[in-house]
Chains A and B, each alone.
Chain A
Amino acid sequence: GAVVSQHPSRVICKSGTSVKIECRSLDFQATTMFWYRQFPKKSLMLMATSNEGSKATYEQGVEKDKFLINHASLTLSTLTVTSAHPEDSSFYICSARGTGATDTQYFGPGTRLTVL
């Protein structure tokens, strides 16, 4: 079946640094990729939707200058957390949808970010 991978699975960084998380669709082309954030004991929260070759659409309350999303190809989207702060520590999950109108959406395994 379709697989979505994320890299890294875990990352620890110092406050003030930037961290890039990659999301790849491994055996299908994804025109749309979604980035979610999960707070402790909470459900997943949609951060942004990105379409290949165009700017991401951010949900209300999500800082687009802090969470930079690039969807440069049909198999890769990146989320960069800029000038990370401890409150950015969270679990980030990407999801990808195929190119067909009825294509389903597949979830990546997630990335645990810890900012010290």
Chain B
Amino acid sequence: KNEVEQSPQNLTAQEGEFITINCSYSVGISALHWLQQHPGGGIVSLFMLSSGKKKHGRLIATINIQEKHSSLHITASHPRDSAVYICAVLAATGNQFYFGTGTSLTVIP
């Protein structure tokens, strides 16, 4: 069983829809990252969370430490949001990062 599980694995949405991607983890963590990987590979760090909620533009990330769960929300989705979104957690016990396998999002015009 992976330490980090993401759902859904694949997601197709119409432009303008509200999107939620979920991440659950099984280890104690010191931080959780949401990464965006565009076709062609380039990775962008979207958020780093250790508690609560963060917002950047149309993106919102939340984390519930007690439930070991985080969500990434995209409001008013746009085709340029099409990418793979990866959840990564930094274990509380050291340098170990655990990665989810990613959620592939396609936003259709």
Interface of A toward B, CB cutoff 8 Å: 9, 32, 34, 38, 41-44, 46, 49, 91, 93, 95, 97, 104-110, 112
Contacts and interface: CB of A to CB of B under 8 A. Distances in A.
A105 B32 CA distance: 10
Contacts of A44: 86, 88, 97, 99
Per CB-CB distance, the 7 closest pairs between chain A and chain B, nearest first, are A43-B99, A109-B42, A44-B99, A43-B101, A91-B41, A110-B43, A110-B41
A107 B90 contact: no
Contact of A112 (B33, B41, B45): B41
**Interface of B, helix, strand, loop or mixed by DSSP:** strand
B97 A105 contact: yes
A6 to B, nearest CB: 9
A112 B90 CA distance: 25
Contact of A104 (B31, B44, B95, B100): B31
Given A32-B95, A43-B102, A46-B97, A107 B40 contact: no
A93 B99 CA distance: 13
B102 A34 contact: no
Nearest to A9: B42
